[in-house]
C-alpha cells in the first residue's frame, strides 16, 4: 500500500509522517515547491524529537519527495507527472494548508479550498481509488461559543470567528459534494488546538501558542515597549474580551497524530466519516491567561466586552480577533465515535500550565 502525504513538514504533518512510517515501508511527500529541502527538514525534526538513529538513516530510502503547488490544477505537475503520481497511490493524507487566522479570504481559499479540490482531483485520477484522509479542524463549528459540537454538524448558521475557519468549512462542504458525486469515501479528521511539550527550536515549525506569543510581543514593540515591558506592578494591563468561565480544548499533537493514523485502519463507510480528535479535558481560560502572562510582560484582564476606552495596546490587539475570540468559548466537542472505536483514554497526557510552558520555553537542551 502506497501513501502520499501533503504538509509533511508542518507542525502536525511531521507527527503524522512519524506515525505513518511505523505502518508503511515508504511514503511520497507532496511538498510545496520552493519551500526548501523537505527531506532535510523532516530529518532535522526526527533528530530533534529523539527518533532512533537507524530510522533517521533510513529516511532518504523510504521517502520520495514530489514538489507540488496546491493552488494550481494537477498540483502544478505536468500531465505525465500527474498521471504517474496518481497511478501509484492507495491512500492520500491531506494535511497541508494555511493556518493564518485572519488572512485574506481569497488567499486562504486558494490554499485551503482550491488545494483540497486539487488533492481530490488526484484521488479521482487514480485507478486504485485511494482513500482520502483530510485534516480539517474542530473550529469549522464557527462562532457558536457554547453547547456541544457534534461530528455530523456542518453549517454556517453561526458565522465564523475568522476567515481561516470559513475556508476550512468550505473545504469540508467541497469534500461532501465530491464524495456524493464520485461515490467515494473520505475520512475527515477535526483536531482541536494542537500543542506540544517539545521545546521550541528554530528548525521546528511553530505551533499556535507560539504564534500568539509573537503577536503579543510584536504589539508591545509597536506601542514603544520592548520585549521586557515594564517591571512588577508597572506591567501594562490589557483588557481582553472573554469569559473567565471559558475553556479551550488543547490536544497534544503527538497524540492527535496517533489517533488519526489509528482511525485510518478502520474500513471507511463509503461516504464521509468525520471524527473530532480532541482531548478528554479542557483547559480553563484563566490558565491560558496565566500562560500568556508568562510569555509576554503583560497583565491580562478578561472582561465581559470590548472596552470602550481602549488603550493603544488594547486597540492593536483587537486587530487579532482570530485568537482573542476563543477566550469566550465554552463549547464541548463530542468524540463519541472515537470513544466507541477505541474506548476511553485514561492515560492521555495531562495538558496543564506546566505542559504548555514546556512547549514554549526555550531550554538550553533544545538548542542542539
Q: What is the pLDDT of residue 232?
A: 46
Q: pLDDT tens for residues 323-344?
A: 788 999 999 999 999 999 988 7
What percentage of residues in the chain have a pLDDT greater than 70? Answer: 93
pLDDT tens for 180-239 read: 999 999 999 999 999 999 999 999 998 888 888 888 888 888 888 765 555 445 788 889
Write the CA distances from 163 to 71, 160, 249, 332, integer angstroms: 18, 7, 20, 22
pLDDT band at residue 298 using 50, 70 and 90 as cut-offs = confident
For residue 345, pLDDT beyond 80? no
The cell numbers describing 299, all together, are 497583565
If pLDDT is split at 50, 70 and 90, which confidence band does 165 have? Answer: very high
Q: What is the value of pTM for the model shown?
A: 0.93
pLDDT at 209: 84
- 6 grid coordinates: 501533503
The percent of residues in the chain predicted with pLDDT above 90, rounded, is 73
SS (H, E, C) the chain: CCEEEECCCCHHHHHHHHHHHHHCCCEEEEEECCCCCHHHHHHHHHHHCCCCHHHHHHHHHHEEEEEECCCCHHHHCCHHHHHHHHHCCCEEEECCCCCCCCCCHHHHHHHHHHHHHHHHHHHHHCCCCCEEEEECCHHHHCCCCCCEECCCCCCCCCCCCCHHHHHHHHHHHHHHHHHHHHCCCEEEEEECEEECCCCCCCCCCCCHHHHHHHHHHHHHHHCCCCCCCCCHHHCCEEEEECCCCCEECEEEHHHHHHHHHHHCCCCCCCCEEEEEECCCCCEEHHHHHHHHHHHCCCEEEEECCCCCCCCHHHHHHCCCHHHHHHHHCCCEECCHHHHHHHCCCCCCCCCCHHHHHHCCCCCHHHHC
**What does the block give as the cell for 8?**
509533511
* Residue range(s) occupied by CATH 3.40.50.720 in the chain: 3-194+250-277
Q: What is the mean pLDDT of residues 279-296?
A: 92
pLDDT given for residue 216 in this prediction: 84
pLDDT for 299 beyond 60: yes
Average pLDDT, stretch 127-144? Answer: 96
- Residue 35: pLDDT above 80? no
Note the pLDDT tens digit of each residue in 50-79: 999 999 999 999 999 999 999 999 999 999
Residue pair 272/186 in contact (Cβ under 8 Å)? The answer is: yes
**CATH code for the structural domain at 3-194+250-277:** 3.40.50.720
Residue 312 predicted with pLDDT over 90? no
Amino acid at each position: 500500500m502506497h501513501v502520499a502525504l501533503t504538509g509533511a513538514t508542518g507542525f502536525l504533518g511531521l507527527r503524522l509522517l512519524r506515525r505513518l512510517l511505523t505502518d508503511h515501508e515508504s511514503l511520497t511527500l507532496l511538498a510545496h515547491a520552493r519551500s526548501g529541502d523537505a527531506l532535510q527538514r523532516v530529518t532535522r525534526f526526527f533528530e530533534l524529537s529523539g527518533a532512533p538513529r537507524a530510522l533517521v538513516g533510513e529516511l532518504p530510502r523510504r521517502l520520495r519527495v514530489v514538489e507540488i503547488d496546491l493552488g494550481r490544477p494537477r498540483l502544478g505537475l505536468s500531465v505525465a507527472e500527474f498521471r504517474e503520481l496518481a497511478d501509484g497511490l492507495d491512500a492520500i493524507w491531506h494535511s497541508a494548508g494555511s493556518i493564518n487566522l485572519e488572512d485574506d479570504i481569497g488567499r486562504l481559499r486558494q490554499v485551503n479550498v482550491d488545494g483540497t479540490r486539487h488533492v481530490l482531483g488526484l484521488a479521482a485520477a487514480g485507478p486504485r481509488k485511494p482513500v482520502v484522509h483530510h485534516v480539517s479542524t474542530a473550529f469549522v463549528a464557527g462562532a457558536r461559543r457554547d453547547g456541544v459540537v457534534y461530528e455530523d454538524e456542518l453549517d454556517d448558521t453561526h458565522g465564523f470567528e475568522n476567515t481561516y475557519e470559513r475556508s476550512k468549512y468550505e473545504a469540508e462542504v467541497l469534500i461532501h459534494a465530491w464524495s456524493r458525486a464520485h461515490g467515494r469515501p473520505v475520512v475527515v479528521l477535526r483536531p482541536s488546538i494542537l500543542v506540544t511539550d517539545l521545546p521550541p527550536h528554530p528548525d521546528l515549525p511553530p505551533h499556535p501558542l507560539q504564534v500568539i506569543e509573537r503577536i503579543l510581543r510584536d504589539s508591545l514593540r509597536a506601542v514603544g515597549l520592548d520585549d521586557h515591558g515594564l517591571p512588577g506592578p508597572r506591567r501594562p494591563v490589557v483588557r481582553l474580551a472573554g469569559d473567565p468561565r471559558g475553556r479551550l480544548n488543547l490536544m497534544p499533537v503527538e497524540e492527535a497524530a496517533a489517533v488519526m493514523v489509528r482511525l485510518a485502519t478502520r474500513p471507511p463507510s463509503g461516504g464521509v466519516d468525520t471524527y473530532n480528535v480532541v482531548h478528554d479535558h479542557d483547559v480553563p481560560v484563566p490558565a491560558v491567561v496565566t500562560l500568556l502572562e508568562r510569555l509576554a510582560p503583560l497583565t491580562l484582564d478578561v472582561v465581559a466586552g470590548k472596552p470602550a476606552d481602549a488603550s493603544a495596546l488594547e486597540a492593536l490587539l483587537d486587530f487579532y480577533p482570530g485568537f482573542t475570540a476563543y477566550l469566550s468559548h465554552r463549547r464541548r466537542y463530542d468524540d463519541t465515535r472515537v470513544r466507541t472505536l477505541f474506548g476511553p483514554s485514561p492515560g492521555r497526557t495531562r495538558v496543564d500550565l506546566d505542559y504548555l510552558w514546556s512547549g514554549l520555553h526555550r531550554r538550553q537542551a533544545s538548542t542542539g
